[in-house]
Amino acid sequence: MRLVSLDVDIAAPRDMTRRHSTVATFTLAAVLFAGPLSAQEQLPIRNCTWCHGSSAQGFANAPRIAGQTRQYLEMSLQSFKNHARDNPYSKQYMWGATANLDAEMAHGFAAYFSELPAEPANDGDAALEDQGKAIYSEGLPDENVVSCIVCHGPKAQGYERIPRLGGMGYAYLKRRLEQWGEGYHAAAEPMPRIARNLTTNEINALASYLSFIK
């Protein structure tokens, strides 16, 4: 089989006949050379990006999952499936989305999304950034809040089952921290215990600071 060259001619956009033949050539090439699909290509990624955004940077209530650690993504999917993560949006959206997910698919989705580049949401309150940074780095010893940096890392990049927080959306981070204080469960300790000691103002500051991290 001969490799069909992709004749993309963007210099002549008004030449519709030529553009159509280019599209046809591309489709043909894709059909001829796709070969057997790898496990990852068989995953119905659109079942997820439908809610999480086309490049998985988050959309509406669904958080960014692009660039999240693989182990955390996999653990989260399991926690929705076995209903351990029980806050309202998890129940409403993710329990259904994971109902028919087997372990192999969860592994595949986690591997796929962890490889995508993560973009910062940049949507917090800039006036609270310094306060958030101080709590993140030093904790609040008087209120029995440990520093976040010891687990989530200096750039909030996460590690294995500890999620990357840097650049996640403000509203999502705020909601997560508040809901643990309200008694909803997590996939793993220790977050409910830590979040219970944070005030609304401290949560706003942390969520703001984190949303700006690249």
Nearest approach, Cβ of 127 to ligand HEC (angstroms)?
18
Q: Which stretch binds ligand HEC (CB under 6 A): 7-15, 33-41, 59-67, 123-131?
A: 59-67
Residue 26 binding ligand HEC, by CB under 6 A: no
Nearer to ligand HEC, 23 or 77 (CB): 77
What's the closest the beta carbon of residue 103 comes to ligand HEC, in angstroms? 13
Integer Cα distance of 92 and 155 in angstroms: 31
| Gap between the Cα atoms of 119 and 53, Å rounded | 12
Residues 151-190: x where in contact with ligand HEC by CB under 6 A, - otherwise, as a string: xx--------xxx-x-------x-xxx--------xxx-x
Q: Which of residues 2 and 145 has its CB atom nearest to ligand HEC in the complex? A: 145
Per-residue x/- track, 67-106, ligand HEC (CB under 6 A): -x----x--xx---------x-xx--xx--x---------
- Cα–Cα dist 51/60, whole Å: 8
- Name which position in 66, 118, 128, 206 contacts ligand HEC (CB under 6 A): 206
- The answer to whether 121 contacts ligand HEC (rule: CB under 6 A) is no
Interaction of residue 111 with ligand HEC, rule CB under 6 A: no
Rounded distance between C-alpha atoms, residue 151 and residue 148, angstroms: 6
- Judged by CB, which is closer to ligand HEC: 6, or 96? 96
Torsion on CA atoms 80, 82, 85, 86, rounded to nearest 10: 100
What ranges in 34-141 are assigned the alpha helix state H? 46-52, 70-81, 88-89, 95-98, 103-114, 129-138
Structure tokens belonging to residue 178: 């508040």
- Residue 175, H or E segment: helix 170-181
Q: Which long-range contacts (CB under 8 A, 24 or more apart) does 193-202 make?
A: 194/145, 194/146, 197/140, 197/143, 197/144, 197/145, 198/140, 198/143, 198/145, 202/131, 202/135, 202/140, 202/145
Residues that bind ligand HEC (CB under 6 A): 47-48, 50-52, 61-63, 65, 68, 73, 76-77, 87, 89-90, 93-94, 97, 109, 145-146, 148, 150-152, 161-163, 165, 173, 175-177, 186-188, 190-191, 194, 206
